[in-house]
Chains A and B, each alone.
Chain A
Amino acid sequence: EAGVTQFPSHSVIEKGQTVTLRCDPISGHDNLYWYRRVMGKEIKFLLHFVKESKQDESGMPNNRFLAERTGGTYSTLKVQPAELEDSGVYFCASSRAGESTDTQYFGPGTRLTVL
């Protein structure tokens, strides 16, 4: 079974540009999460999809971040326009439907650097 995949693995952009990150969850997983780790700090929750619906987006920093999950399969996270403080590693995780404590499987992350 393929794991969670993320693309790209690295992205370097200039302040003010737009970047789109993609996450492909494990097949059949209804739950999809986005997290971010900035500068060696804790991994912070951004948002949670159940299928194509946003269940919880309380962690989204501001309206420069837009997440979508059309059709309930893969998800994209767009940052527009990017700021210096957006640099970090963005992780995607997925879990199957059911218990809230079902294991979340993480992807390898996308390292975003904003110059």
Chain B
Amino acid sequence: GENVEQHPSTLSVQEGDSAVIKCTYSDSASNYFPWYKQELGKGPQLIIDIRSNVGEKKDQRIAVTLNKTAKHFSLHITETQPEDSAVYFCAASPTDSWGKLQFGAGTQVVVTP
């Protein structure tokens, strides 16, 4: 089955700096890679996703890159703000699993003013 590894487990950045979270996956059949943000007391919320036919996707200060050959994908947050502080999860979904998401262990991001 699919296995997703996520690094780092914690990330502390100064406000205005960039944050990068990296994930690797094992199943080459995976074709969908969402990123979720979980704030305290809330459930995970989708912030961006990428499909295997695309190498990069950007939405304002957030971007995701995918390297299918190396089986890794990354989340980039630029110009970080205190409200970016949260736990971020990457996930992968193989084509034969129909919606079943395999998550990474999460990254606690702390943005200090």
Task: Check A102–B99 contact: CB distance below 8 A.
Answer: yes
Could you say which residues of chain B place their CB within 8 Å of the CB of A105? 46
* Structural contact, B44 and A95, CB atoms closer than 8 A: no
How close is B113's CB to chain A, nearest CB, in angstroms? 26
Point out which of B6, B31, B91, B100 has the most chain A C-beta atoms below 10 A from its C-beta.
B100
Bound-state CA distance A91–B36 (Å) is 13
Using C-beta atoms within 8 Å of the partner chain, give the interface range for chain A. Answer: 20 to 34
* Interface range on chain B (Cβ under 8 Å from partner): 20 to 34
Q: Which of A42-50, A62-70, A80-88 forms contacts with chain B?
A: A42-50
| Chain A nearest CB, measured from B101 CB (Å) | 6
Is the pair B44, A91 in contact by a Cβ cutoff of 8 Å?
yes
Residue A75 CB within 8 A of the other chain: no
Given the contacts A42-B105, A106-B36, A100 and B46 also touching, CB distance less than 8 Å: no
Inter-chain CA distance A42–B93, complex, in Å, is: 14
Chain B nearest Cβ from A51, distance in angstroms: 14
Min distance, Cβ A69 to any Cβ of chain B, angstroms = 15
Q: Which residues of A contact B93 (CB under 8 A)?
A: 100-101
**Contact between B98 and A45 (Cβ–Cβ < 8 Å)?**
no
**B43→A104 contact, CB < 8 A:** no
A101–chain B nearest beta-carbon distance, Å = 4
Interchain CA distance A44-B91 in the complex, whole Å: 10
Whether the pair A42, B98 counts as a contact (CB closer than 8 A) is: no
Q: Knowing A41-B105, A43-B103, say if A103 contacts B49 (CB, 8 Å).
A: yes
Query: Nearest chain B CB to A6's CB is how many angstroms away?
Result: 8
Asked if B85 is at the interface (CB within 8 A of a chain A CB), the reply is: no
Task: Tell me whether B105 and A33 are in contact (CB under 8 A).
Answer: no
Instruction: Give 14 CB contacts A-B under 8 Å.
Output: A35-B103, A41-B105, A42-B89, A43-B91, A43-B101, A55-B98, A56-B97, A91-B44, A100-B97, A101-B99, A104-B34, A104-B46, A106-B44, A108-B43
Which 8 interchain pairs have the tightest Cβ spacing? A106-B43, A43-B103, A101-B32, A42-B105, A100-B98, A42-B103, A108-B43, A106-B44
